[in-house]
Amino acid sequence: MISIALYKPDIPQNTASILRLCACLRLKMHIIEPCGFNLNDTRFKRVIMDYINHSSIIRYDNFKELLNKNKKSRVILLSTKAKKSLFKFSFKKNDIILLGRESKGVPQNVHKELKNKLRIPISDKTRSLNVVVAASISAAEALRQIKIF
């Protein structure tokens, strides 16, 4: 099944919202450490509520560990720097959609490592979508393509 990965997330409310999205859509969530906050953070708990009981979080010490433990999956980077539109990409059932850190995205070595990099087309007068919105759009499109919706 499609899953969402967060690279060193640093805003607890965003991470909680994405985890809640994953719980509602029955997606796994991968977190690449270090996470910029503790999962006991009150800001995280306020957003996640009881949805934590319906979700699956897999944590990794680093990006290489995510790749090594998911060799049968394609890791697809969602980035404002990507050239290919999310809507012109063919998703597969085991794809992992990787979203960068809210404050910095992902480092250049991660960009270089990944073959598949996608963007969500937005107005050229704006910089980027919130990471939760980007996760929602990309998950919905991937699930639509693999006929879950």
The enclosing domain of 114 has a CATH number of 3.40.1280.10
Q: In the prediction, which pLDDT does 47 show? A: 77
In whole angstroms, what is the distance from residue 18 CA to residue 20 CA?
5
Dihedral sign of CA atoms 61, 58, 131, 45 in order: negative
Q: Could you list the residue range(s) of the whole structural domain that residue 78 is in?
A: 3-145
Rounded CA separation 102/94 (Å): 24
Least confident of 9-23, 39-53, 68-82, 124-138: 39-53
Q: Stretch 86-93: mean pLDDT, rounded?
A: 97
Q: pLDDT (tens digit, 9 = 90+) per residue, 5-54? A: 999 999 999 999 999 999 999 999 999 999 887 777 788 777 777 878 88
H and E: helices and strands count for the chain: 5, 7
pTM: 0.93
Q: Rounded to whole angstroms, how far apart are CA atoms 13 and 9?
A: 10
3-class DSSP assignment, residue 40: coil
Q: In the prediction, which pLDDT does 149 show?
A: 65
Sequence-ordered alpha helix ranges (H) in the chain:
12-25, 42-48, 63-69, 108-113, 131-145
**Number of domains within the chain:** 1
Q: Are 35 and 5 in contact (CB under 8 A)?
A: no
